[in-house]
A and B are shown apart, each in its own frame.
Chain A
Amino acid sequence: MTSKEIVGKSTPLVDGAEKVTGEAVYTDDITLPGLLVGRILRSPHEHAQIESIRVVDASNLLGVHAVAVGADAPIRFGVLPMTKDETALAVDKVVYLGDGIAAVAADTEAIALEALSLIKVKTKVLPPVLRMDEALKPLKDGVEKIQPMHSYPGSRFKEVKQSFGDVEEAFRDARSSVKGSFRFQGVTHAPTEPHATIAHWSAQGRLTVWSATQVPHYLQRSLAEVFELPMHKVRVIRPYVGGGFGGKSDPFPHEMVAALLAKKSGRPVKILFDREELFITNHGRHPTKTEMALSADALGNLTALQIDALIDGGAWGSFGVITSYYNGALSMGPYKIPSFDYRGRRVTTNKPPSGAMRGHGAVNSRYALETLLDEIAEDLGMDPCAIRLQNAWQPHSLTPNGLRITSCGIRECIEVVREASGWDERRGNLPFGKGLGIGCGFYISGSALPIHWERMPQSTVHLKVDFDGGVTVHSLAAEIGQGSDTVLAQCVAEGLGVGLNRIRVYTKNSDTSPIDLGSYSSRVTFMAGNAAIRAAEKVAQQIVAGAARLTGQPASGFVLEGEEVIYAPNPTIRLSFVDAVREALFDSGALHGKGHYQAPNLNPDLPRVEILRGKESEKGAVMGGTHKGAAAGLSPSYSMSAYIAEVDVDPETGIVKVPKVWAAHDCGFAINPIAVEGQIEGCVHMGMGQALTESFDYNRGSGRIENANLLDYKIIPSTDAPEVEVFLVESNDPEGPYGAKEAGEGPLLPILPAIGNGIHDAVGIRMRHLPITPDKVLAALDKKR
């Protein structure tokens, strides 16, 4: 490979034209002969025993073709194999307000809705558990456990502890220590496209499900489990997806319900959520209470971090075991902190389930940590940038909890935003009401630990090159708007030395695409990108063999670039890409190549890791310690970031505005800079919503969401979005595809504390409860006065 021609250049998304012209087909655009409308009857109670369901009137309604209840598909499923606690519809009882009770498939939506109104459900209302503190207490007499299959007592779902070094001693010896109680409201993904699924059973008994999902493979698994089919009898098709943000990364009950109704009616069934259903089924960021303490020595070196996080999981497990660890484990970067003590507790409540959301598990602890770090800097009389630079990890470090940091551009990130924002001259010198704040971030570039402990690659990419000169890429990596199809196309085009117009990417169909674990944990560029590069190498070898045969030169001398195959020792010997391909395939058929990716070897002393990988290291350094939960947070690489936000606080109204953000993100290498910039700008926008305006509000202490619509749930509009100046820091990761790391989630982390710290610089208050609404700002200012 000589200079790079395709990767590293801003490339319009390969599916962009389809999207902006309306040609792109989303799930709801699909229609099939005989397609029925499916709707779900939802529980009006937070917690209730189902005594009887009378469906006969609904079944008899003209135009109704199937009615389903929980008993029709009682097998439990869930994204994590250890906490399968969901069913298609409630079997014995409902566990949150909105939980599905029954479903109908009908000719039209109007008939389906009428049919739902004819279903008579007799329930015995059970006392709900709605608050986290209540969930921690032992169950009161006569109160039924929400999820009997959860192994922890009462309403506790998971409790994890991790401890490294002597935290007590560190706090005792500290020159400065600070602590704080932080509160975070739940927030939700609110993608443009609501959930949508179509299911169809073929005459041969194969199930095909079209669904707006980030995780087609996990959906395929769950459908196979629930309907007791061999996995290959299930085909999942992921049409265009209108945004995910983690909100489509679980296999969902409605997907099971669509399949169930299709099975019962013998016709294809579509379920499209309305906006309220999207809110009430949630799976958004956990409401969180975080107690945190941080200490430093007289020189400003951080010495200890203590975190106690209590998170509200709502009614189901979802990704909650991982969230329980991430609130601690992902706080061990980008700063070196020798001793660390973490307790994470997740409780089950009768509220809509929490799950994975962009920046999963790391966002709330990050806000707390970066806030306390600012306070320590203030206490020690240090500059907030300087204390961050001083404590930043060096490349090739191992954190106390066993995270292997390879490339590490955190210093460059801090320095570039410090310079660009005029930090040294402006911070502390702006008029009252105007401030600058900094926040940093650290995030996994794909989880090294797969969800299923099975011996399989995390990503596989297939290539086909045929006589027509076109290159077809197959992968199940889910394009959800983040640009992963384009990254795959770029990696392959670069590897074959051809233009992007030759590349055709097929990532929608589980029958034809090799398994990829899906679009979550910021893994696709790193893992599927590496697989694509390897696949291209395999095909390139075959093309070179053709070129060698045709020219009589040794294969080792050829390079592929500029749509040509060139003999490097004598570049006058060259042929076109297509001629070389045709020569290579004439006696073998279309050229094929595949590549796969598997994260570096996990520590073989970790419990059960030998099942996954075998005792022997595959290759590369062993990752992770052997403590309980050591694999949570392990990643082949970590992104770093530093943002500075300029913040205006109106001291009389408490209204906070963010006119400008300087955002530096170390993505290793930007395969598609314009897409990375877009991710960063999107993260600023989304994180700003959690910081200032977005909140899952429950009506008067109930489990009833008060603002389940886009008017009352306050996503930041473009009118309030700041100008974002993006700086891409390229630390060239040794294992990333062309040196790349993630850019989809990590860039969300720094904006929240940058705003919080900016508010402090502006008016001298520390905001510990999110969202930072104007009434809270005024209350804090009143307290200060």
Chain B
Amino acid sequence: MILPPFLLHRPTTVDEAVDLAALHQEEGVSFLAGGTDLLPNWKNRLNNQPHLISLQSIPSLHDVESGKIGALATLHSLLGFSPLPQGLREAIEVVASPLIRTTATIGGNLLLDTRCHFFNQSPFWRATVGSCLKAEGPVCRVVPGANSCVATFSSDLAPLLMAMDATLSFVGPQGERSLPLRTFYQQDGIRRMVLKPGEILTTISWHDDPTLLTGYAKLRIREAWDFPLLGVGCAMGLCEGYLSNLSLFLGAVDSIPIEVPTESFLGEPLTDEAIEVIAKSAYARVKPMKNVGLTPSYRKRMVPVFVRRLLMRLRGDH
């Protein structure tokens, strides 16, 4: 497969990148971070644009400091950074493969496109079945009759960073803004987020709390390469056995991460019974689609198992 033709722009400042995007907006623009997902998609003629603005030559986007990470920092480089929350380390270490992580970026992972067996295919393949909603077709091929896309959310880092209540900062034509990551994704497999046209994700930040326990658990068929079939991100505060904080997000079971409500357990001890209730509530909240690997019923069944195991591990069980 060869890439479609495009014009590559290599700005060296964020402002220059924003200006370039505005200039070519009408023709169609895409930003390039690591490109490990974007370029394979382009080869399949998915989302490709006539203009590609590489952010790789913008030094400020590579800055890394405690609790504040430039969007272009590679996943591999973050593993060498200290202090790194344990859960974030766990999430990074299960993304794709070591080779891909040397190129893939934290910002790219958060903006990762959703995935579906009917979408992530070659033009030849899509032509044999007819295009789907997400590829500018007339109907959803997974749920015939559905008028919104149900492609699966596939970022490993997002559920964890949402549990950590991370904040995203953007620069766009209207200037700078910040958003809690928890409000960033929207229920639609196509648009999937509230990023505005021409807007660049610049930093990911979080409140550095060394007492916060964080962890990530991932279901996949193989221990390398695979996108998640379920991801559980958790941040937990335990004060003398009592929960001071608990956030739990599920990835890869819907088009956006799903939050599992936990407020009623705050101030309580994290007992086995409490864990069981949380696990059951997580189970009740998801409805995976038949559009990625393994069966939806299996993936749903794994939700309480993975939630329970992660909570017990963070609680300190062996």
Contact = CB atoms under 8 A, between A and B. Distances in A.
Whether chains A and B associate is yes
Contacts of B127: 44
Interface stretch (B163-171, B266-274, B293-301): B293-301
B299 to A, nearest CB: 9
Contacts of B295: 775
A711 B225 contact: yes
Contact of A774 (B117, B120, B294): B294
Contacts of A572: none
B262 to A, nearest CB: 22
B7 interface: no
A109 interface: yes
A13 B128 CA distance: 45
Contact of A704 (B1, B128, B227): B128
B301 A778 contact: yes
Given A706-B117, A718-B224, A274 B125 contact: no
Contacts of B224: 717-720
B128 A97 contact: yes
A717 B100 CA distance: 14
A276 B122 CA distance: 8
B124 A42 contact: yes
A399 interface: no
A585 interface: no
A110 B298 contact: no
A716 interface: yes
A774 B223 contact: no
B222 interface: yes
Question: Interface on chain B toward A: helix, strand, loop, or mixed SS?
Answer: loop
Contact of A276 (B124, B221, B222, B302): B124
A627 interface: no
Given A110-B2, A653-B305, A775-B294, A44 B222 contact: no
B129 interface: yes
Contacts of A654: 298
A626 interface: no
A109 B43 CA distance: 13
Contacts of A702: 129
Given A652-B305, A775-B298, A712 B125 contact: no
B223 A276 contact: no
A204 interface: no
Interface string B123-150: 0110111000000000000000000000
Interface string A29-48: 00000000000001011000
Nearest to A707: B117
Given A42-B124, A276-B122, A704-B125, A714 B221 contact: yes
Nearest to A43: B128
Interface string B27-65: 000000000000000000000000000000000000000
Nearest to B5: A110
A653 B302 contact: yes
Contacts of A775: 294-295, 297-298
A42 B2 CA distance: 17
Question: Interface on chain A toward B: helix, strand, loop, or mixed SS?
Answer: loop
Given A110-B2, A653-B305, A712-B293, A719 B124 contact: no
A712 B220 CA distance: 11
Query: What range describes how many residues of A lie at the interface?
Result: 20 to 34
Given A276-B124, A704-B125, A704-B128, A717 B225 contact: yes
A472 interface: no
B124 A717 contact: no
Given A653-B305, A704-B129, A44 B221 contact: no
A501 interface: no
A712 B117 CA distance: 9
Interface in A463-517: none
Which among B2, B225, B298 has the highest number of chain A CB atoms within 10 Å? B298
A626 B97 CA distance: 55
A693 interface: yes
Nearest to B305: A652
A123 interface: no
B28 to A, nearest CB: 19
A163 interface: no
Contacts of A394: none
A773 B223 CA distance: 14
A495 to B, nearest CB: 44
A708 B302 contact: no
A2 interface: no
A699 interface: yes
A565 B39 CA distance: 63
B108 to A, nearest CB: 17
Contacts of A712: 117, 120, 293
B1 A274 contact: yes
B222 A708 contact: no
A693 B221 CA distance: 7
A718 B222 CA distance: 10
A274 B223 CA distance: 26
Given A653-B302, A712-B293, A699 B222 contact: no
Which among B124, B293, B301, B302 has the highest number of chain A CB atoms within 10 Å? B124
B186 to A, nearest CB: 26
Nearest to B98: A719
Interface in B276-300: 293-295, 297-298
Contacts of B222: 693, 714, 716-717, 719-720
A528 B128 CA distance: 46
Interface in B204-229: 219, 221-227
Contacts of B226: 711, 714
B128 A773 contact: no
B2 A44 contact: no
Contacts of A652: 305
Contacts of A704: 125, 128-129
A311 to B, nearest CB: 25
Contacts of A45: 128
Leading 8 A-B pairs by shortest Cβ distance: A775-B298, A719-B223, A717-B224, A44-B128, A719-B224, A274-B1, A775-B295, A714-B221
Interface of A: 42, 44-45, 97, 109-110, 113, 274, 276, 652-654, 693, 699, 702, 704, 706-708, 711-712, 714, 716-720, 773-775, 778
18 contacts: A109-B2, A113-B2, A652-B305, A693-B221, A704-B125, A711-B227, A712-B117, A712-B120, A716-B222, A717-B222, A717-B224, A718-B224, A774-B294, A774-B298, A775-B294, A775-B295, A775-B297, A778-B301
Given A109-B2, A110-B2, 11 more contacts: A97-B128, A110-B5, A276-B1, A653-B219, A653-B302, A712-B293, A717-B224, A718-B224, A774-B294, A775-B294, A778-B301
